[in-house]
């Protein structure tokens, strides 16, 4: 998946970006991009390589419905999950009592598009 596909699905509502540190599975240059209207708790984020545009992970959180979805690139998934285990991070926890539903890449883009569409109309 390419970051431009995520950008299009998110309607370009970028809140910010930051370098990713502490995870070798994403590579040395990986960045974390946060999407969503600034006045909303619902948001999405992805980890990607800024040079190639490859997306490693997408997380989507709907604060109204208290649902969350996660997609991880199959080529890094096992290494990333092992790193999380070593760091005592539960990859299934999104926020408080909300757990991630793991989805495939197409589902993640559709959910992201739907969430951002609903934010555009409010």
Q: Each residue's pLDDT tens digit in the chain (122 positions)? A: 778 777 777 766 788 889 999 899 999 999 999 887 655 677 888 999 999 999 999 998 888 888 999 999 999 999 999 999 999 999 899 887 899 988 888 788 788 777 767 655 44
- Count of domains for the chain: 1
DSSP string, 60-78: EEETTTTEEEEEE-TTTHH
Tell me the residue range of the domain where 37 lies: 3-120
pTM: 0.83
């Amino acid at each position: 998946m390419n970051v431009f596909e995520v950008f299009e699905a998110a309607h370009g509502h970028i809140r910010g970006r930051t370098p990713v540190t502490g995870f070798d599975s994403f590579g040395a240059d990986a960045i974390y991009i946060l999407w969503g209207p600034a006045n909303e708790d619902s948001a999405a984020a992805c980890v990607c390589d800024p040079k190639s545009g490859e997306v490693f992970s997408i997380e989507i959180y709907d604060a109204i419905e208290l649902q969350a979805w996660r997609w991880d690139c199959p080529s890094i998934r096992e290494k990333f999950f092992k790193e999380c285990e070593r760091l005592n991070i539960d990859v299934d926890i999104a926020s408080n009592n909300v757990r991630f539903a793991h989805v495939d890449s197409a589902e993640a883009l559709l959910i992201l598009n739907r969430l951002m569409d609903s934010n555009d109309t409010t």
